[in-house]
Amino acid sequence: MGGAVTVAVLGAADLAKELAKKGTSSDLTLYNAVRDDHALTLVEPTQFPEKLPPLLYAIAMADHVLLVVPGLSREVAEMAAVLDLVAVPTTIRLGPGVGEEEVRRAFRGTRLETLAMAPLDLLSLRAEVEGWTAPPRDGPVRVPIDHAFPVKGVGAVALGVVRRGTLRAHDRLRLFPTEREVEARSIQVHDIEVREAGTGSRVGVALKGADADELGRGQVLAPPGSLTVSERLVGRDRALCRYFRGSLRAGAHLHALIGLQFVPVEVRRFDADAFELEADRPVVFEPGDAALLADLTPPGGPRIAARLTLAATV
């Protein structure tokens, strides 16, 4: 397989099906296309804006974000607030009758304000998207699971994108954050069986050593010892959402997205020098990973609160 990319499609519910074929559907809907040795996966947050997590999941899975602005709305404002806190490359396209200047004014003070904007044109967009690829990431293989299911005669199959390194058939892996070790019995990339899959590839992995009901979104397939598991989340680097109106004081109860794990957390410390959170269960991460803090019932404004950079626990 040649280049591969996963794109979060935001703001245009009917656009992804014009670019690729519908696949897995849950709170997220995935679309897939392979053309000229280029594999494209589109992720649509189907249950957003009613629920915030699908938006966060879609962005966390993405190598690139395609933001379509059909008009200025609370939904667009919340997407912009989240995208301002993440470093995922973002392309902006404007719906019919939407003016560039009004959008730039709405995005003033965010990283989106200075990005190139153009009217949405399906033909030119298709050509542009087919030129996007996931950046290479060397190191121990890392595959966050986004869906899983049983297959008769095969067993448990986990779906996910190789976020780093190369996944090889018969690799021995740990199913983080559990202690269970599994084997990658076989690998498929867009329904084609392969012996290995590199960074950016969307894979279906048949696993030996686990049942489908033991698999869930947010778990990570990676070599034993390559990642950290802890309920305590600490660090110093943070970026706050300027529009968030909820509380970030000690004692506040929020949620944190770490990889594809969305877990309740209690704020133990949150000041200019450092932060400390306590998750309600062990989570998997490595130093340098980002955590997005969210309040699902804020008094007003966006539900996203901050982006944190996790450090090693001590």
* pLDDT attached to residue 1: 47
Instruction: Of 67, 55, 10, 111, give the one whose Cα is nearest residue 294.
Output: 55
DSSP string, 197-208: E-TT-EEEEEEE
How far is the CA of 276 from the CAs of 88, 107, 236, 265, 281, in angstroms?
Answer: 25, 31, 9, 10, 15
Is residue 280 a contact partner of residue 265, using CB atoms and an 8 Å limit? yes
pTM for this entry: 0.95
* pLDDT attached to residue 172: 97
Which CATH code, of 2.40.30.10, 3.40.50.2300, 3.90.1150.170, 3.30.230.10, is assigned to 143-222? 2.40.30.10
Number of H helices, E strands in the chain: 5, 23
Which CATH code, of 1.10.1040.10, 1.10.10.10, 3.20.20.80, 3.40.50.300, is assigned to 4-129? 3.40.50.300
* pLDDT attached to residue 14: 85
CATH class for the region spanning 228-309: mainly beta
* pLDDT attached to residue 9: 97
* pLDDT attached to residue 100: 95
Residue type, 54: P
Place of tokens 């996910």: 160
How far is the CA of 194 from the CAs of 50, 58, 145, 272, in angstroms?
Answer: 38, 26, 18, 48
* pLDDT attached to residue 314: 60
Q: Matching CATH topology for 4-129 and 143-222?
A: no
* pLDDT attached to residue 198: 92
* pLDDT attached to residue 38: 87
* pLDDT attached to residue 155: 87
Which tokens go with 59?
């962005």
- Domain ranges, ordered by start, for the chain: 4-129, 143-222, 228-309
* pLDDT attached to residue 272: 87
* pLDDT attached to residue 13: 85
Distance (Å, whole) CA 103 – CA 146: 33
DSSP string, 26-77: SSSEEEEEEETTEEEEEEE-TTTTT-SHHHHHHHHH-SEEEEEESS--HHHH
* pLDDT attached to residue 3: 85
In the predicted model, residues of the chain with pLDDT beneath 70 are 1-2, 314
Distance (Å, whole) CA 103 – CA 71: 8
DSSP string, 102-126: HHHHHTTTSGGGGS-EEE--HHHHH
Place of tokens 């969210």: 294
Is residue 146 a contact partner of residue 26, using CB atoms and an 8 Å limit? no
